[in-house]
Structure 1
Amino acid sequence: MDLLDEARCQRLKTTTTNLLAGRATLRTLFPLVPAELGGDFDLDRVLRFGSVPVVWQAGDPRAALDAYVQLYVREEIRAEALVRNLPAFLRFLPVAALFHGQAINVAGLARDAATARTTVEGYVGILQDTLLATLLPAFEPRLRVRERRHPKLYWVDPGVVRAAKRQLGPVGAEERGALLEGWIFTVLRAHNEASELYEEIAYWAPLQARQTEVDFLLRRGREYLALEIKAQPRFSTAQLSGLRAVTDLPRVARRVLVYLGEQRLRTEDGIEVWPLRSLLDALAGGRLWP
């Protein structure tokens, strides 16, 4: 498979149709996840270059990522005439990459990209339609409109977002947290595609506690599972504020903090502290929910 075909495979939604049932099933192709990489999985490499197959297999991943992004612009954007002003879209891409893992304020994004707000709204839609990025909504309990917040923007692959912002050197400490968080979001989505891991996913950030968040709140049936991600090798109780506050919600079946240490712990109030490998094993074995 050449670079063009491989790149297309990463951004296409494939549809399979059951003619007898008269139903169509939509499937999304994701970058390679640890269960597929097996012994080749290397977190540092994934956070730096991502795991798009054509990049993972390349002898020069930096060159492959550059080509991947250029190919996206040339084949997906220019050839399909998705935007009227290509230079404006090219200005938008690295700015949008800087918002990876952040609640997206379209007005601020438009200002930083020197582009009209309505145009930027369309550009964000293009990133979603071409599967380069996803908006993660804030959890909104019913009848509590005051808790509405902006969605967070997550690019589908660490290498792709770093290529978009033209930063492919060693991963800096300031970007490691967002890269790990975004990558785990993609891994969750990939496993959900295969095994219906959850029915809804959001982040939790109540207005009455502005510094309190939980990265991922999964819903299955009437139960919730809260996941907090920390790109740190040491665990501290100071990292638990969001998971402790989320108990205000009913039916939170499990609260898990995932970190880059080695020890698996459980706090007195029932919060589980998992090394990253424990999360990956739970996902691969279908044991995320209690």
Structure 2
Amino acid sequence: MNRGGAVVNPLCLRLGTVPTVVTSQDPGSALAAYAALYVEQEVRAEGLARDVGSFSRFLEAAAFSHAATLNVSELARECETSRTTVAGYLELLEDLLLSFRLPVFTRRAKRRLVAHPRFFYFDCGVYRSLRPAGPLDRPTEIAGPALEGLVAQHLRAWLAYSRADARLYYWRTRGGAEVDFVIYGATGFWAFDVMNADRIRPADLRGLTSFGDEYPEARRVLLYRGSRRIVRRDVLCVPVEDFLRALDPERGLEDASGAGG
């Protein structure tokens, strides 16, 4: 989907892909201003939130739920406001196309699954600009969700532009087994996990292995930061850079992942 410069690099994961940001002479300042000016001014101008200060606190708190299972009640407690207010804020973000939620994949489920959706800001750079960072934050705590968000952006774009007869989900059991992304529909059945590391450990395959036990029909792919395309425990492991570069709305996921041949 991205045919320009490098797709997965520290700069992209920090600044994101918003055109007005990446083409700016000062992308860092443009990104910082995006949430502070565009988002809040849009909300204020439209009279969409009565308390802009409360909404600003919500934007920051929601950043900690980026690429994670979303619990509206917990988020409301963090924002020190009502659940109804936070639910309204979430709907507002989606109406403005600033965020999206992925439902849990529940087809033919044999295990008990979580009920909450997964939350994403629409752009990994916007997430980074809203997510406070301090000395106690490990870099992986921020970079990992940013990478997952970048993959989510590309998968959603591929589904939209290819007009594929499929939807995007995620999968998580009550026991903690999880797969980051599931694509299911007439055009195929795929499970993707995203790992922000260049080496694959056996533990990194547990989610896809559990999903394969439940759904042996699904093609399972681990996207990681390494450089080799390999197969481990019947899971195709693909460099995430290669996969995102190869995503094309005129071609199938088999071509992007290399699973077709």
**TM norm structure 2:** 0.88
Structure with bigger RCO (C-alpha 8 Å, 6+ apart): 2
Partner amino acid for 1:89? F
User: Per the alignment, do residues 94 and 74 of structure 1 end up closer, same or farther by CA in structure 2, a change over 3 Å counting?
Assistant: closer
Aligned match of 2:230 in 239, 258, 265?
Answer: 265
2:2 alignment partner in structure 1: 34
Residue of structure 2 equivalent to 1:28: none
User: Contact 1:147–1:206 at 8 Å: present in 2 too?
Assistant: yes
Aligned positions of 1:115-264 closer than 5 A: 115-141=81-107, 146-167=112-133, 172-197=139-164, 199-207=166-174, 210-221=175-186, 223-250=188-215, 252-264=217-229
SS of aligned partner of 1:66: helix
Structure 1 distance, partners of 2:129, 2:253, is 32
Q: Which residue of 2 aligns with 1:114?
A: 80
User: 1:239 and 1:270 mapped to 2: Cα distance?
Assistant: 13
Distance 2:72 2:223 in 1: 30
Instruction: Confirm or deny: 8 A CA contact 1:50 1:160 kept in the other structure.
Output: yes
Structure 1 residues 74-95: Cα deviation after superposition (integer angstroms, max 9, x where no partner): 4320000001121111111100
- From 68, 71, 77, the equivalent of 1:102 is 68
Give the AA of the match of 2:32: D
Q: Paired residues, what number?
A: 253
* C-alpha separation in 2, matches of 1:281 and 1:67: 29
- Give 1:65 shift: 1.1
* 8 Å CA contact 2:57, 2:79 repeated in 1: yes
Q: Please identify runs of 4+ aligned residues in structure 1 that moved more than 6 A.
A: none
Offset at 1:277?
A: 2.8
Could you tell me how far apart the structure 2 residues matched to 1:231 and 1:199 are?
26
- Please give the alpha-carbon distance, in whole angstroms, between the structure 2 residues aligned to 1:222 and 1:68: 36
Residue in 1 that maps onto 2:47: 81
Letter in 2 for 1:140: T
Contact 1:136 1:202 (8 Å CA) reproduced: yes
Pairing partner for 1:274 from 230, 238, 242? 238
Residues 229 and 248 (structure 1), Cα distance of their counterparts in 2 relative to 1, 3 Å cut = same
Whole-angstrom distance in 1 between the partners of 2:6 and 2:199: 25
- 1:157 CA drift (Å): 0.9
How far apart, CA to CA, are the structure 1 residues paired with 2:227 and 2:103?
A: 31
1:138 offset after TM fit, Å?
1.1
Report the AA paired with residue 22 of structure 2: W
Q: How much is the aligned-residue C-alpha RMSD, in angstroms?
A: 2.5
CA 144–124 in structure 1, closer or farther in 2 if over 3 Å, else same:
farther
The one-letter code of the counterpart of 1:68 is: Y
Cα deviation for residue 231 of structure 1 reads 0.4
Distance 1:216 1:274 in 2: 15
Answer with 1 or 2: which has the greater Rg: 1
CA 1:236/1:42 → structure 2, altered by over 3 Å: closer, same or farther? closer
Q: Which moved more, 1:70-79 or 1:233-242?
A: 70-79
1:264 Cα deviation after fit = 0.8
Which residue of 2 is the match for residue 9 of structure 1? none
How far apart, in 1, do the equivalents of 2:85 and 2:66 lie? 19
Kindly indicate whether the alpha-carbon contact (under 8 Å) linking 1:228 and 1:243 is maintained by their aligned counterparts in 2: yes
Gaps of 5+ in 1: 1-32
Q: Distance in 2 between matches of 1:52 and 1:96?
A: 19
Asked if 2 retains the 8 angstrom alpha-carbon contact of 1:203 and 1:215, the reply is: yes
Note closer, same or farther for the CA distance 1:41–1:279 as it changes in structure 2 (3 Å cut): closer
Equivalent pair of 2:7/2:244 in contact (CA under 8 Å): no
**Secondary structure, counterpart of 2:253 in structure 1:** coil
- Whole-angstrom CA distance in 1 between matches of 2:201 and 2:6: 30
